[in-house]
């Protein structure tokens, strides 16, 4: 059995796509996952499974949420082994004076194409910065993530990939 973190995008935001965490835990258990735990109300699930393919785990949760709650929710899964690498690869943490509250990670469903990444020019949009490393976009938002133009929708549109952000 391996542990995975599942990030559901866009639940319990502004009263939309409401799922109680107890119901989400029960749903994941009902489709065969073990040791299911949730963290805060934004759709963070840690679970154990013998399944090794993250895309299969994602699809299982997407299908179960659609069937039980009647709406579509994108899900991005990372293995327990990947998470420390995600944290350690943040290029902004080595720069002095940047508080952790001003940093976020955009988890992407797949690795973006180089051409799509290169086409993003934010110099006239914002003082915020981003750096792409594999399937992750690291953000530094000096005025906070709530004020950035570098949202999930921004990256999904430009990269043509599903994304969800966590601080």
pLDDT value at residue 127:
87
Element (H, E) at 54: helix 54-69
Give pairs for 19-28: CB < 8 Å, separation 24+: 19/43, 19/65, 19/69, 19/73, 23/68, 27/61, 27/64, 27/65, 27/68, 28/61, 28/64
The string of pLDDT tens digits covering residues 74-128 is 999 999 999 999 989 999 887 777 777 889 999 999 999 999 999 998 887 778 8
> For residues 55 and 109, what is the distance between their CA atoms, to the nearest angstrom?
9
pLDDT value at residue 114:
95
- Average pLDDT of the chain is 91
pLDDT value at residue 55:
96
pLDDT value at residue 11:
84
């Amino acid at each position: 059995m391996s542990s995975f973190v599942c990030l559901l995008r866009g639940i319990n935001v502004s009263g939309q796509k409401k799922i109680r965490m107890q119901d989400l835990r029960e749903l994941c258990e009902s489709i065969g996952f073990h040791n299911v735990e949730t963290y805060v109300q934004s759709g963070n699930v840690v679970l154990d499974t013998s399944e090794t393919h993250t895309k299969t785990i994602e699809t299982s949760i997407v299908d179960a949420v659609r069937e039980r709650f009647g709406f579509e929710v994108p899900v991005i899964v990372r293995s327990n082994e990947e998470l420390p690498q995600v944290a350690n690869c943040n290029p902004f943490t080595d720069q002095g004076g940047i508080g952790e509250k001003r940093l976020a990670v955009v988890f992407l469903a797949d690795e973006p194409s180089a051409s799509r990444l290169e086409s993003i020019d934010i110099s006239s949009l914002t003082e915020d910065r981003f750096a792409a490393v594999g399937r992750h976009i690291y953000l530094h938002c000096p005025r906070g993530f709530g004020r950035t133009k570098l949202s999930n929708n921004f990256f999904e549109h430009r990269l043509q990939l599903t994304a969800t952000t966590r601080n």
